[in-house]
Structure 1
């Protein structure tokens, strides 16, 4: 009965559920990175991104106002204020507080602590405090207070402003973004142009040694990138190219051509032969056939390789470090700038999360805009 027309077997629903679970699990790191990019360093260090949408209880070190803000109330000297407003924090509710790091929850909200010669301190649930003493205060920096407060969800654009518009060592991603675009766009377009001509020749033009040339191109797919970097850099220096954008464009073109020619050639071989023969009978040249027929029909394969090449060059660090001069910072790409954001101690996690999401935003847009051509291009030549 399971094979009756119009009915779906039970296994189909299990497959759909499994795929949905895998998609959710695959998307979780990206979602976490996005949420973390809007959080502060304290929030990232005290709670996970999955708790960002809910009120959080956290311990915060704050200080009262200094002795410069004290006023006289009868026989008492008083310092008053609100801890949240004074520290520029989001308004929350204080449950416990203390004045010693050994016991940060010594007092409940609303209780008054007798600090002997220092004075008496009361902290309310709303964050309002009253610090009073019979003698004038001499605390230039204010009294330390550890508060345990429930704070509402808080998100900030400060991380993005620092990453995109700062010119110091912590930021500078705006400049690195344009440097990466300068590397990626030509390094994607140039190999596609060259590979399209080569693939057409290998697919539809007869000449001696064509089979050996195809085998050689396939063999180049397994050449390790790392083995060719230093010899290629020495060649660039000898012929006067040196380090710069031209060198990195040529390097990405050389490393990307074997895959490009392989994909495009397999796709072009699968195109209907009758169309090309009819065009030749009508007097079309090879160049006209290539530009008027082959290129429009090969768009899925071209888009498929463009996705691979764009993602590879955008996320590349090794080739950029070898072929670009980044000591001045004028040609630093985003992957190198993200490494710089970590610093020598591996800090600035809120800035790192923001920079990483800025870095993956463009590849995500490119992938989703062209993903419908990806499978068609990858399966080129697999079915006759």
Structure 2
């Protein structure tokens, strides 16, 4: 009775639950990075992204208006305003305690009046409104510093993306690095596919001496670490005049990606129906015509599958870019290296780092989501042969 038609076994439900858990674990860091990219530095420092929709208690250090804004009322010098708007915040928080010293940040309650010295006093309300009164003219170039404990409502901002994408600063902007990465990734994905497609067809359907040895060599190259070839290849580039630049990194990615590309495409092509190719040859078609008009259209899933692998690898690459591309001026800096630079120059600005990291993974995510069906079909290449 356990195999009744229409009744799912417990194993099927276990598989579904396992897939759901794996997807959730994969999505959770991405969602967290996305949410953090819209949060302010204070919110990231005081609470996790999962609390972003709830008000959080924060300790803030804010300044009143500068003494240059004071006015005289009945022989008393007055400075007033709102402590939150004074510091560039559009959110009004509910103050629960405040103080005038870092040693006593909660000595006073909203509505209390605290002495500032020289007869001056400050009164702070729950909504952030303050009033400073002094019998003498207030001097100095900066406002008074107040330590505030407040219940801050959720706040999201686009300022992080403005800084990362539109800033003219070479240390913060990811815009140039984004286009540099595209300049590296697109050719480094297309060139290996073109070369590997021709080679895979030859190894799958053309008879010539040494074909088996070439197939064995391709398989052997799959297990060779690319780190072994980095320095010798760079020396070769320098000797022949390529140097460090886009051409060098394109050739490097092409060489490192060809073994997997040839292996994947050859396995797929060899599984295509032999009858189609033999009929084409009987009709007088050349190998080039068979390749362009029959093999390539039928091999699109495998081509797309490798394109995803190669695109993701070159987009997320740092090692090859460091060796073959990075220059002293930063004109050809890619996104992975730019994030490393941000870690060094803006290590405390987690909101900038979170935004830069999400910008760097946004395009690979879109590529993967829109082409994942081809990835699955390509991974199954050669598992089922045509009749």
Q: Distance in 2 between matches of 1:330 and 1:312?
A: 22
Q: Deviation at 1:333?
A: 0.9
Q: Distance in 1 between matches of 2:213 and 2:2?
A: 52
**2:254 maps to what in 1?**
253
Q: Deviations over 1:282-317 (max 9, x none)?
A: 111111111110000000000000000000011111
Point out the more displaced range, 44-53 or 219-228: 44-53
**2:80 maps to what in 1?**
80
Structure 1: unaligned runs, 5 residues or longer? none
Q: Distance in 1 between matches of 2:231 and 2:248?
A: 12
**2:34 maps to what in 1?**
34
Change in Cα spacing, 1:344 to 1:69, as seen in structure 2 (3 Å) is closer
**2:219 maps to what in 1?**
218
Query: How big is the alpha-carbon RMSD for the aligned residues of Structure 1 and Structure 2?
Result: 1.6
**1:125 maps to what in 2?**
126
Q: Deviation at 1:165?
A: 2.1
Contact 1:300 / 1:373 at 8 angstroms: preserved in 2?
yes
SS in 2 for 1:373: helix
Q: Deviations over 1:239-296 (max 9, x none)?
A: 2221111111111000000000000000001101111111111111111111110000
Q: Deviations over 1:129-171 (max 9, x none)?
A: 1222333323442221111111221111111111112232332
Point out the more displaced range, 33-42 or 3-12: 3-12
2:235 matches 1:267: no
Contact 1:199 / 1:261 at 8 angstroms: preserved in 2?
yes
**1:238 maps to what in 2?**
239
Q: Distance in 2 between matches of 1:262 and 1:217?
A: 7
Listed as ranges, the matches of 1:108-257 within 5 Å are 108-115=109-116, 117-257=118-258
Q: Distance in 1 between matches of 2:50 and 2:129?
A: 30
**2:365 maps to what in 1?**
364
SS in 2 for 1:72: strand
**2:51 maps to what in 1?**
51
Q: Deviation at 1:228?
A: 0.2
**1:382 maps to what in 2?**
383
SS in 2 for 1:108: coil
Q: Distance in 2 between matches of 1:291 and 1:327?
A: 44
Q: Deviation at 1:198?
A: 0.5
Q: Deviations over 1:48-70 (max 9, x none)?
A: 11111222211111122233222
Q: Deviation at 1:46?
A: 1.7
Q: Deviation at 1:35?
A: 1.1
Q: Distance in 1 between matches of 2:326 and 2:345?
A: 21
Point out the more displaced range, 102-111 or 285-294: 102-111
**1:95 maps to what in 2?**
96
Point out the more displaced range, 351-360 or 9-18: 9-18
Q: Distance in 1 between matches of 2:141 and 2:274?
A: 88
Listed as ranges, the matches of 1:279-358 within 5 Å are 279-343=280-344, 346-358=347-359
TM-score in terms of structure 1 length: 0.96
TM-score in terms of structure 2 length: 0.95
Q: Deviation at 1:42?
A: 2.0
Structure 2: unaligned runs, 5 residues or longer? none
Q: Deviation at 1:376?
A: 1.1
Contact 1:163 / 1:170 at 8 angstroms: preserved in 2?
no
Q: Deviations over 1:324-381 (max 9, x none)?
A: 1421221111111111111257333211111111111111111111110111111111
Q: Deviation at 1:116?
A: 5.5
Contact 2:221 / 2:259 at 8 angstroms: preserved in 1?
yes
Contact 1:114 / 1:121 at 8 angstroms: preserved in 2?
yes
Point out the more displaced range, 5-14 or 323-332: 5-14
Q: Distance in 1 between matches of 2:117 and 2:260?
A: 78
